[in-house]
Structure 1
Amino acid sequence: MFVGFDYGSANCAVGVMQNSEVKLLPLTESSHYLTSTLYALDRELIAEAVHQQMPDSLKAEYAKARASQLTRARSARRELDLEPNEQAVFVGEQAVKAYLDMPEEGFYVRSPKSFLGATGLRADQVALFEDIVTMMMLHIKQEAESTRGLNAKGAITHAVIGRPVNFQGIGGEESNLQAESILRLAAKRAGFVDVDFLFEPLAAGMDYEASLDEDKLVLVVDVGGGTTDCSVVKMGPSHVDAKDRSQDFLGHSGQRIGGNDLDIALSMKAFMLHLGLGCHMVNGLPVPSKPFWNAVAVNDISAQRDFSSLNSRKTIEELIKDAKRPELLQRLLKVQKDQLGYRIVRSAEQVKISLSDADSVTANLDYVCPNLHAEVSQALFKEAIELPSAKIEALMKQALEIAGVKPDVIYVTGGTARSPAIYDKIAAMYPETPIVVGDHFGSVTAGLTRWAQKVFA
């Protein structure tokens, strides 16, 4: 069976063709989308979970490659007093729930796709991300193959997987090759026979193309959870049936800037003043901003490692001694001790979503301090995301400059584009050009699914 597989920064989805129409397969009891998160009671237990669930034919080779991790996993299971078959690794909303129940005890990663092209990863870090992605793909594949997902139970063998134009703003093609290598190996270990890749904005555009009755030049703007990608594409009846579309793709741009960055920026602007950002020391100097940034920079490996370290805790404790408002910095210390950074960013994400339909939202931060709330207005949100939204504008201009054409239409998709603040920015750039808003979450999956039929059929 051939599928389109959107392994997204915010959500994952799988699509199949049925009766010439794209059908998204349920990945949970109540949704076609699975939140891109993983939680493990101990990070060493991820390799154990992968080994248990992967196809039997691949276990020996994997066990040889991960011998030390599997040995440490057995020790971790004993130390945690876990039963041999007791679940220790969770994916999707189960992972979110486990993290919220035990934020300080386990290993939690949100949007692992955002890290795949990171520069400077050590071999053990690459191996960890291979296992994280494999574990998620195993879970998703099993759910998609269940009778709940298909009319008749069957194996998924081939997939077209979406990828951003650039996985990272730095690192160039080397970063892209590293990320693709991780995804390809994970897919193999999850049981896929073969996979191919397609730029996500192109996939989103293909779904739109299926509705066109005349040829158009389309600027596809895909603002996702981890990346923004823009493509200028020739679309329409003259192009839709071609298997080689390389001549139709006139310009691309992409960068790791997306919904996660908006959430982080909003966390800094709206929440961190309640934790001491902007306050002063008794000597009149401002409190350093680095600990606050590290607390919420959940898509930055080095920042997260720094914030969780003992040195970071000691730094905050020293700041408390000399701060004019030590009670505020005590809240930052709690965030560090209890590892609440992800939860703060999750609160910002919920505010962002709520602001799609409201002028002002009250965020509940009582998990940091009793009765702590933060008021967030549309105006504050727009101010907070000024820098990332400017980068999105720059990517649109870059794609059009490379293509050297003026688009007939702008096709906007991606979950982050639901935000009125982002849509308004896009619309204001080219007010004379019509804008079509696609399925914010399903367009990419639909396009990947259509392309899978052409690549593998």
Structure 2
Amino acid sequence: MKKLLYGIDFGTTNSALAIYDEETKEIQNTIIIPSLIYFYHQPNAAMGPNYVVGEDAITAYLNDNMKGRFIKSIKQVLSRSSFTETRIHNKKYNASDLVAIILKDLKDRADQLIGQDCRKAVIGRPVFFDDDDVKKDTLAQTRLNKAAEIAGFVDVRFQFEPIGAAFAYERSLLKKENVLVADLGGGTTDFTYLMLDPEKVGNKDRKNDMMASGGIYVGGDSFDSAFMWEKGTPYFGKNTQYEATPGKVLSMPKSLFANICSWEQMNFFNGLRIKKDIEDYYYFSGKDPQFKNLITLIENNLGYSVFQSIEKTKITLSKADTALFRYQKMNIKINEKIPLPDYEQIIAKDVDRIANYLDEFMVQNGIKPQDIDSLFLTGGTSMVNSIQKLFKKRFPHVSLNSGDNFKSVARGLAYSGYLFEG
């Protein structure tokens, strides 16, 4: 039986697993899947799983006419004490249970490739799950550890995700460098400043090489939420007015639309009272067609498909000066041209939060721009034009380096087997 371990990057948007051979010291394979779960509308009578994961979740969601429970960005609930459990088909699922579904799917796929049951893994975690909050961070770590156990892992270590990315980058270096690593994912942005040396690859003690680490709870999902608020919600009635009392015209409550800007807030609409309120708003608005779109969105569980369109717009704008924000389902029609400057203005507050945190991080850790020999950016959000501009402006003397934005962390985590020593 081969001596193998898995490096697992459980991400907000995508999750990856790298298979590492501890004897040959090589990555055998890397698997990547979207961090998605779909629970079928009708329970499986054959007693099999009532859910599917990854790309299959998207297919099943569409084939099931979007009537079941579609779950994304699960990582973001790990630190939230307010999330205790959700009930699906009369079965309770807590945060660890949901995360374990993703981890086990990755494990099963990898086990099938190697032909054995691998229970050893280095699992990544952000520097901070929810900004600098120790209680939330501890809760998230505990839940993630439990999820790994449920998924079938016995021997587990945890590594900061940006350190994993750094170890992947280190193997491409020719000389020793002081490197600032920025890991920009869907939920968080993490920074690590460390000394990398190709001669130290595989060394068991790297503690002294880690000079500083920190993170902030802002990522690609924050950008998508901001975009939904500015460009999406007007199509769902944000600017609609209603007249409950003759002559008294009011604007729709903003809370209704704040709650369609992220999937985890969609449960806000599950209660009978809020559903009745929405029907009343619709009636008193004179049955406004834009507000009708909100009812269609909620009743048909269309949230994910709308955010798919937002994601496509974001990706296009990382390469082009304009993009088309287009969505057409069940009489909801969006077809709006988005210039890059408009998009950059929409996400400016979140980009500024990242920039301000980066400045604080460097000051608090005594890091000067001239101390940095190279920058390594990873994570899907690192490709956003405003993020690229941020780093080029802060560090004009240093070139931006990047690896595979979706596999680098998992590979670097797999190279962190030294964590099992001692």
TM-score, normalised with respect to structure 1: 0.82
Secondary structure at the aligned position of 1:83 is classed as coil
1:8 aligned to which of 11, 14, 38: 11
Paired residue for 1:230? 191
- Aligned equivalents of 2:65, 2:158: Cα separation in 1: 35
- Aligned equivalents of 1:385, 1:85: Cα separation in 2: 45
Unaligned runs of 5+ in 1: 26-31, 43-79
Query: Is 1:24 equivalent to 2:33 in the alignment?
Result: no
**TM-aligned CA distance change 1:426 to 1:103, over 3 Å:** farther
- Aligned equivalents of 1:439, 1:260: Cα separation in 2: 20
Unaligned runs of 5+ in 2: none
**TM-aligned CA distance change 1:103 to 1:265, over 3 Å:** farther
Paired residue for 1:205? 166
Cα distance per residue 1:172-205 (max 9 Å; x no partner): 1222222222222222222212110000011111
- Aligned equivalents of 1:342, 1:293: Cα separation in 2: 15
Secondary structure at the aligned position of 1:441 is classed as coil
1:129 aligned to which of 49, 73, 95: 95
Paired residue for 2:121? 159
**TM-aligned CA distance change 1:370 to 1:362, over 3 Å:** same
Cα shift at 1:325: 8.2
Paired residue for 1:248? 209
Query: Is 1:139 equivalent to 2:105 in the alignment?
Result: yes
* Maintained 8 Å contact 1:225/1:258: yes
* Maintained 8 Å contact 1:295/1:307: no
Aligned-residue RMSD, C-alpha: 2.5
Secondary structure at the aligned position of 1:222 is classed as strand
Paired residue for 1:424? 389
1:360 aligned to which of 322, 327, 332: 322
Query: Is 1:297 equivalent to 2:259 in the alignment?
Result: no
- Aligned equivalents of 2:400, 2:335: Cα separation in 1: 37
1:288 aligned to which of 216, 230, 253: 253
* Maintained 8 Å contact 1:100/1:343: no
Cα shift at 1:422: 2.0
Cα distance per residue 1:265-284 (max 9 Å; x no partner): 21222222222223444545
Cα distance per residue 1:206-246 (max 9 Å; x no partner): 11112223222211111012211111112224654442322
Query: Is 1:114 equivalent to 2:68 in the alignment?
Result: no
Secondary structure at the aligned position of 1:5 is classed as strand
- Aligned equivalents of 1:445, 1:102: Cα separation in 2: 32
TM-score, normalised with respect to structure 2: 0.88
Partner amino acid, structure 1, of 2:400: I
Secondary structure at the aligned position of 1:366 is classed as strand
Query: Is 1:447 equivalent to 2:418 in the alignment?
Result: no
Aligned residues: 406
Paired residue for 2:180? 219
1:47-126 aligned within 5 A = 80=42, 82-102=44-64, 105-122=67-84
**TM-aligned CA distance change 1:241 to 1:453, over 3 Å:** closer
Cα distance per residue 1:2-45 (max 9 Å; x no partner): 121111111111112354433433xxxxxx31110111136xxx
Secondary structure at the aligned position of 1:365 is classed as strand
Partner amino acid, structure 1, of 2:168: D
Secondary structure at the aligned position of 1:95 is classed as helix
Cα shift at 1:453: 5.5
Paired residue for 2:293? 331
* Maintained 8 Å contact 1:216/1:408: yes
* Maintained 8 Å contact 1:365/1:374: no
Partner amino acid, structure 2, of 1:38: I
Secondary structure at the aligned position of 2:328 is classed as coil
- Judging by fraction of residues, say which structure has more helix: 1
Query: Is 1:168 equivalent to 2:173 in the alignment?
Result: no
Cα shift at 1:317: 2.6
Partner amino acid, structure 1, of 2:27: V
Paired residue for 2:156? 195
- Judging by fraction of residues, say which structure has more strand: 2
Cα shift at 1:86: 4.7
- Aligned equivalents of 2:27, 2:418: Cα separation in 1: 11
User: Identity over aligned residues, as a percent?
Assistant: 27
Cα shift at 1:162: 0.4
**TM-aligned CA distance change 1:94 to 1:123, over 3 Å:** closer
Paired residue for 1:39? 38
Cα shift at 1:346: 2.0
- Aligned equivalents of 1:197, 1:186: Cα separation in 2: 13
Partner amino acid, structure 1, of 2:226: A
**TM-aligned CA distance change 1:156 to 1:366, over 3 Å:** same
- Aligned equivalents of 2:56, 2:379: Cα separation in 1: 24
Moved more, 429-438 or 154-163: 429-438
Paired residue for 1:381? 343
* Maintained 8 Å contact 2:380/2:406: yes
* Maintained 8 Å contact 1:145/1:156: yes
- Aligned equivalents of 1:124, 1:269: Cα separation in 2: 30
Moved more, 194-203 or 329-338: 329-338
- Aligned equivalents of 2:296, 2:175: Cα separation in 1: 59
